[in-house]
A and B are shown apart, each in its own frame.
Chain A
Amino acid sequence: MVAVAGKTYPAVRFDIEQERVAEFARAIGADPEDGVPPTFAAAYALEATAPQLFGDEDAAIDFGKLLHAEQEFEWHRHPRAGETVTSVARVASDASRRGMRFVTLETDTSDADGALVCRSRALFVVRS
């Protein structure tokens, strides 16, 4: 395992499709008429980029021992269905303590004008 703190992954484009937004809203008990649910950031920020970390041979994360421990989203605005956004992930920290590894993945999602829409911070713990 190589500590990958500071590593940035290539930008990922994500189309916010109305149908998928509605499906997501129903799954979390929200009204699909209320627009894109704030935590749809799980799709356009987190799921768009976390596989880059999990598939990174340098990071060598054992997916079977991975726990999602904490999650934070900061919204600068909430995107609308039909928008295409771009997410860029960076390993904000990667440290081992007491036999466990703590990796923070920070993902910035921007709109077509390059304005920040959302920042996601995910803390993953890898048990040894």
Chain B
Amino acid sequence: MSEQRVTFTREQIAAYAEASGDHNPIHLDDEFARSVGLPSVIAHGMLQMGIAATVAAEAAGGPGRLRRMSVRFAGMVVPGDTVTFTAMPAGDGRIEIKAVNQRGEPVLTKAVAEVAP
């Protein structure tokens, strides 16, 4: 099993926005985020998926072995949240992924990867 515990920061979210090209202000501007009913800026779901894929790649024996990955974005992540990502081989080339915050709530569900045979 591979595991990584990540405490999200505004700097990491901003770096991901820059690298991914997703500059939606809900990830970058607290005032804007609050104006649309969010508690503060939130992490990109795709940042969560990216970290989950990094952990899945460790369990798979390298990123080049990933053939498919899918997730459902189930909960928002704000700066200061700590999410534990785990990836566990489940047989037949499947890797089951979990991402749970410090309150025990899943932030990704139906998260699974498939590796090359």
Q: Which of A27, A39, A42, A78 is B64 in contact with, Cβ under 8 Å? A: A78
* Contact yes or no, A43 B21, CB < 8 A: yes
Which of chain A's residues have a CB closer than 8 A to the CB of B68? 72-75
Chain B interface residue count, CB cutoff 8 Å, equals: 33
* Contact yes or no, B66 A38, CB < 8 A: yes
Write the B51-66 contact mask toward A (1 if CB under 8 angstroms, else 0): 1011001000011101
Residues of A participating in the B interface, judged by any CB pair closer than 8 Å: 20, 23-24, 26-30, 34-35, 37-39, 42-43, 46-48, 63-64, 67-75, 78, 121
- Between A and B, 18 residue pairs with Cβ closer than 8 Å are A24-B19, A28-B47, A29-B4, A29-B51, A30-B63, A35-B63, A37-B57, A38-B53, A38-B69, A39-B46, A42-B46, A47-B21, A68-B46, A71-B71, A71-B73, A72-B70, A73-B70, A78-B64
- Give me the 10 closest cross-chain CB pairs, A-B, nearest first: A28-B50, A72-B70, A24-B19, A47-B21, A27-B16, A23-B19, A39-B50, A27-B15, A42-B46, A30-B54
